[in-house]
Structure 1
Amino acid sequence: MWTVKLFKVNQMPSDFQEPFIISKYRSSRSSLLCCLKSMFQATNETLNFWTHFLPFLYFLWKLFALSFVHNFLMDSYTWPLCIYLISVCGYLFGSCTAHLFNCLSEHARHVCFFFDYAAISFYGIGAAIAYKFYVFPSSWIGGLLYNSYLPFAAVSAVMCTISACSSRFGDREKLKKILRLVSFAVPYLFDSIPLAARLYLCYSEDCPDESFRPHLRQFLIAPMVAFLFATHFPECIAPGKFDVVGHSHQLFHVLVALATNDQLNALIWDMVHRREYLNEHGTKPTFFWSLGVGLFVFTANMLVVYAFSVLIKHQYFFRKYTGNMFYKMKGRAKVNGVANGTDKKSS
């Protein structure tokens, strides 16, 4: 009664198949109740859900706890930290819900991950806002990059969402994977320029900033995350052995959550201990350049998700206008029958 029937990879439509994951798939036509039940059953998505749901609860608690320490409502200097924490909660919640409900239908699967990509993009601009007002090296404040950083970060965040969503069209899996990886790597690398410069200057000048180590740790985790995403290690060397526990996406989630915690601790230290200097020499946060930029990216991302959610039903649009340039299109996956644990013809 409290379990759902699970399937092997050869019983699933192609859109639901994951590389090197052989078993423990949920029905591609699950009900909402079956999705909720699967939270407590050993499926290949269970730990994908919990490895971001538990961090979501932790960072939500941090948001509320810090709101009592720092006056988020009245102190504009704390607004970048506030929007950063909101974006962290957003990407974690978007990730865990996407993994929980992506088996409702083929269309729902695409839409779930559209929201996931938008949430990651929103987190990117949240981090960029915090970097702008707390992390920039002292010698860079007032320079060209300092003044143009947030507009470029906002544009790259929205373009990231568009590019990542478009990667769900087509049948060339390697190209789709590369496009998705590049979609997130480019804005990450741009957003990290002030952090990389700060780390270099801190190391070369032997500065005593206590934020150096957590900043460095979260920066060094990034290539590990990219490696797991690109290679599907360790399941690639033992298909079927890591279907439930230990596959790359779970490790990816854990590393991302740990890096985010380091990032938060470093940002809090910078915000508190650099306040006097930044208030005197830097640009003070305003509503427009903190919460306003975050709201702009959030709104733009929701429009992108809506547009792609409609277009995914009409794939001929991409077949006609992008198929020749990027990759050929495929028709809708045929669902041969897995509806809530029983064979069922797709309607």
Structure 2
Amino acid sequence: MSRVVVFDRFGGPDVLRIVEEPVVEPAAGEVRVRIEAFAVNPLDLMMRSGSMPAAVALPHARLGVEGTGLVDAVGPEVTGLEAGDPVILTAVPDASVRGSYAEYTMVPASRVLARPAGLGVAEAAAIWVAYSTAYGALVEKARLRPGDHVLVTAASGGVGRAAMQIANQIGAVPLAVTRHAAKTDDLIAAGAAAVIATDRVDIAEAVRHHTGGAGADIVLDLVMGPGQQDLLAAARPGATLVAAGFLDPRPTPFPGGTSLTIHGYRSFEHTLDTVVVRRMAAFLNAGVRLGALRPAIDEVFGLDDVVAAHRHFEKGIHAGKIVVTV
């Protein structure tokens, strides 16, 4: 049997419960993964609360788009993977049916990658969503280059921290945006070239100061909402803004009359593309090997404490990823 986290109604963390389900055999092209750990992501909270734009079928819905574990069994027609191989999940498109909040899950063999050498289980559970999102937004969409000044909002979160490390690996200059000046030292330690605390300074003025008056070359907006107008003012003419987040539920004004190139971005745009995933994996493995890419872990919970993990996430005070070990 497999212990699985499910929910039968939308609501707060308390709707989550653990049940036991039979362990089934993988179908053709699939692998069964024994999950060792998974990370909590904003998408999980949206699914659980009922705020997802896409429908989530109740009751008995599952959660989890990220995790790491060992291949437990391989289905017919699967090559290149064997039982015991340590892997990370790269995409769980049907998370409400086969999410990673479980002792075992089944995914297409094409949706797992070898776990990068040198990562512990908690780090491996926390690396893919944040780093693939940041890489896809900055490298694949915005064409980040050495020397570019990159303005990163929600810099204390998992994607924000990944974006700063990726910028440093490429030779760009990450400028971190935070609402609280108290986070300055932590963000500098996390890789920011400079920190812009909106409780102290105006974003546009601060960015001009740090870029010699030019403005940011790339803006990674992980928040959205009305505050995006301040980011547009902080960018140089002809810059690129990538909207890759949804932390502010308020409407985002249409950015009319701007010379910026603006992209919307969701990670499944690239994590379902095997060619891009190969590039992501190569970049990730190189960064881990060189010590340039390393996920920050805020706190680790056990599976029995998954409700507490969600409560902790909702407080919004975490610095790095929240991980649950199975």
Task: Give the TM-score, by structure 2 length.
Answer: 0.28
Task: Give the TM-score, by structure 1 length.
Answer: 0.27
Task: Identify the structure with the greater strand proportion.
Answer: 2
